[in-house]
Copies of this chain bind each other. A is one copy, B any other.
Amino acid sequence: MYRTHTCGELRQQHVGVAVTLAGWVQTVRKFGSITFVDLRDRYGITQLLFGEELNRQLTEDPPGREFVLQVIGTVTERTNKNPNIPTGDIEIKVDSFKTLNRSVTPPFTIQDDTDGGDDLRMKYRYLDLRRNAVKKNLELRYAVGRAARNYLHEQQFMDIETPFLIKSTPEGARDFVVPSRMNQGQFYALPQSPQTFKQLLMVSGYDRYYQIVKCFRDEDLRADRQPEFTQIDCEMSFVEQEDILNMFEGMIKHIFKAVKNIDYTEKVERMTWEQAMWNYGNDKPDIRFGMKLLNLKSAFTRSERINSQLEAVLDEGNASLISGAGFGVFDNAETVLAIAVPGCSEYTRKQTDELTEWVKRPQIGMQGLVFIKYNTDGSLKSSVDKFYNEEKLKAIATAAGAVPGDLILILAGREERTRKAISELRLEMGRRLGLRKDNEFKLLWVLDFPLFEYAEEENRWVARHHPFTSPKPSDISVMINNSPVIENPEKYLEHPYSNIKANAYDMVLNGNEIGGGSIRIFQRELQEKMFAALGMSQEEALHKFGFLLGAFEYGAPPHGGIAFGFDRLCAILGGSESIRDFIAFPKNNSGRDVMLDAPSAIDDQQLEELSIALKVESR
């Protein structure tokens, strides 16, 4: 070993001990004939004191920033203690030192507040990883992974590795493919998830499976998506939805305790997908704050069945709050939604103008914003004063849950866009008001998702979650007894399939989906019906998923599972919105590793061996 101790472990009690340390030079400070060096390693920082007798060597071989030093010396008590670091009581009186390696000047400072831009830090990722802020993220990631493993082990889950070179069965996202040299003209695919393998493991009787595993999706990368990402992937046999919810809120609570020392003792809240959409405009609501939507008018309830299932049924009275006033914007809109923003009644014209501009941005895409100020003196003032008198404004404000001092914001337009916009506006106002605290964690289960989504271009159903998700038991007969064919695309919402609910659940943390899963189909007939519902021919289903259909014939148990987005979970626990900060070697938004310069051209010989040809010039 090049050291007897790390740079983080020496304390008052070690005074007088002869030690050898090795690490990186964080700073060099000269005071007259004495030189102080802060030596850094993963475990901490220790101050080194070089006396006058070492000045000659220091002059000949001067240690610079990020040099690697080995020093031999004695632990001594500091006269000027530093209470901010654990080793602050001591320093090392250096007897001799050796430069193990030099460093050229780093392209940015290795500090919490670095002067490096994103691109530079990605290119020199090995230097960015030295920064304390990044190191803390990776330490947190390791702690989260370990806590998850420990919990799952206690619960008798087994870590079982599933293959990475599998079969391409594109349904949903695009596969990354790998040409096979030994089977020319054929390709493996990289897994988008181990979904079918974990189901096979249940058929094989493994009962409880987990894996922290890389998955791959070749999608156009939106901000903060990575082509390779990590899942905590789990599956259980002989369970119903309730068992899964309990098991995995247990896991997340265990992680909270182990990693953040948070006792999350309350029951995790639950709401249906419809409640989430109705009250928050979003299937992953941030429930750290209220500001629920007032549905003044909505197309969400076009389907009678949805309407009847909603607890908060659209009260026709709400519509009457705005109708008949001659305000065309509301009268002609498909949907009108409002939120009451607490304590903002005194927003200036400038502020409300800025909010209006905000909702008009292309990302939000609304035409305008209506506001009502519910002043602290009880009076009301609005941008639509000429259509609504104070009494009417008060009725709207009250329906929105406002009290004096609040600002009511109202959006109107097409159902989908308006609901999405008010949801974004709610989150933005929550952010501005400091209601979305990094150190506050609120979990939520969203349940009862629709099983299908309508794909307009193809006029067919696609699986909202994936094709292995079971319908709610009560909806199975609806699926079996009806044809998936959509005769009238205009009226797809009236097709019985549009109302089938899935036995699926998402776990939401602070407005982010951190996990999602479902109870699976485990009968061959129902699985075949599902493939058919998605427009797959029997031949295609057999070609792609014959192994799974086959497996279901040999005693498949009822089973279900969940997968957590490990990168995202770590980011949120670390108080960040960006997963990239929690991945050791992330790719940029073009899917490139700029440090490696990958992907890159490969040799002609490699192409030759694979019997493939490029149809474009490679760089």
Q: Is A599 an interface residue (CB 8 A)?
A: yes
A558 partner residues in chain B, CB cutoff 8 A: 2, 68, 100-101
The CA of A100 and the CA of B238, in the complex, are separated in Å by 10
Is A616 within 8 A of B611, CB to CB? yes
Q: Is A178 an interface residue (CB 8 A)?
A: yes
A613 partner residues in chain B, CB cutoff 8 A: 612-615
Closest chain B residue to A207, Cβ basis? B42
A164 partner residues in chain B, CB cutoff 8 A: 164, 190, 214, 216, 228
How many whole Å from A106's CB to the nearest CB in chain B? Answer: 6
Most B CB within 10 A of own CB, among A25, A66, A597, A602:
A602
Is B160 within 8 A of A127, CB to CB? no
The CA of A617 and the CA of B149, in the complex, are separated in Å by 46
Known A-B contacts A138-B160, A228-B164; the reply to A243 vs B183 at CB < 8 A is no
Is B163 within 8 A of A228, CB to CB? yes
Is B68 within 8 A of A218, CB to CB? no
Q: How many residues of A contact B (CB 8 A)?
A: 127
Closest chain B residue to A3, Cβ basis? B238
The CA of A552 and the CA of B126, in the complex, are separated in Å by 10
A66 partner residues in chain B, CB cutoff 8 A: 554-555
Q: Which among B127, B547, B617 is the interface contact of A554 at CB below 8 angstroms?
A: B127
Closest chain B residue to A107, Cβ basis? B554
The CA of A57 and the CA of B596, in the complex, are separated in Å by 66
A550 partner residues in chain B, CB cutoff 8 A: 124
A3 partner residues in chain B, CB cutoff 8 A: 238
Q: Is A40 an interface residue (CB 8 A)?
A: yes
Q: Classify the secondary structure of A's interface with B.
A: loop
Is B142 within 8 A of A159, CB to CB? yes
Q: Find residues 133-167 in chain A having any chain B CB closer than 8 Å to their own CB.
A: 135, 138-139, 141-142, 145-146, 149, 153, 158-167
The CA of A601 and the CA of B239, in the complex, are separated in Å by 37
Is A205 within 8 A of B593, CB to CB? no
Closest chain B residue to A202, Cβ basis? B126
The CA of A606 and the CA of B169, in the complex, are separated in Å by 11
Is B101 within 8 A of A600, CB to CB? no
Is A203 within 8 A of B126, CB to CB? yes
A207 partner residues in chain B, CB cutoff 8 A: 6, 41-43
Is B227 within 8 A of A165, CB to CB? yes
The CA of A167 and the CA of B239, in the complex, are separated in Å by 43
How many whole Å from A65's CB to the nearest CB in chain B? Answer: 9
Known A-B contacts A130-B205, A201-B584, A583-B161; the reply to A68 vs B167 at CB < 8 A is no
Q: Which among B101, B183, B555, B606 is the interface contact of A599 at CB below 8 angstroms?
A: B183
Is B214 within 8 A of A103, CB to CB? no
Known A-B contacts A68-B556, A165-B227, A204-B130; the reply to A180 vs B599 at CB < 8 A is yes
Chain A 375-402 interface mask (CB, 8 Å, partner B; 1/0): 0000000000000000000000000000
Is A584 within 8 A of B619, CB to CB? no
Is A165 within 8 A of B593, CB to CB? yes
Closest chain B residue to A168, Cβ basis? B602
Q: Find residues 572-601 in chain A having any chain B CB closer than 8 Å to their own CB.
A: 583-585, 587, 590-593, 595-601
A615 partner residues in chain B, CB cutoff 8 A: 611-613
A170 partner residues in chain B, CB cutoff 8 A: 603, 606
Is A204 within 8 A of B129, CB to CB? yes
The CA of A220 and the CA of B180, in the complex, are separated in Å by 11
Q: Which among B24, B201, B208, B595 is the interface contact of A555 at CB below 8 angstroms?
A: B24
Q: Which among B183, B554, B587 is the interface contact of A591 at CB below 8 angstroms?
A: B183
Closest chain B residue to A100, Cβ basis? B558
A584 partner residues in chain B, CB cutoff 8 A: 160-162, 197, 201
Is A41 within 8 A of B159, CB to CB? no
Q: Find residues 49-90 in chain A having any chain B CB closer than 8 Å to their own CB.
A: 66-68
How many whole Å from A383's CB to the nearest CB in chain B? Answer: 45
Is B243 within 8 A of A205, CB to CB? no
Given contacts A126-B203, A164-B228, 11 further A-B contacts (CB under 8 A): A40-B205, A106-B554, A126-B554, A138-B206, A145-B159, A161-B584, A163-B585, A177-B178, A177-B610, A180-B599, A187-B602
A sample of 22 cross-chain residue pairs with beta-carbon separation below 8 angstroms, ordered by A number, consists of: A2-B240, A42-B207, A66-B554, A103-B555, A124-B550, A135-B205, A138-B206, A142-B158, A145-B159, A161-B230, A162-B585, A164-B228, A167-B596, A168-B598, A175-B606, A178-B190, A184-B618, A185-B614, A186-B618, A187-B601, A547-B595, A547-B596
A-side interface residues toward B, CB under 8 Å?
1-3, 6, 22, 24-25, 40-43, 66-68, 100-104, 106, 124-127, 129-130, 135, 138-139, 141-142, 145-146, 149, 153, 158-168, 170, 174-190, 197, 200-201, 203-208, 214, 216, 218, 220-221, 227-228, 230, 238-240, 243, 522-523, 546-547, 550-558, 583-585, 587, 590-593, 595-603, 606, 609-619
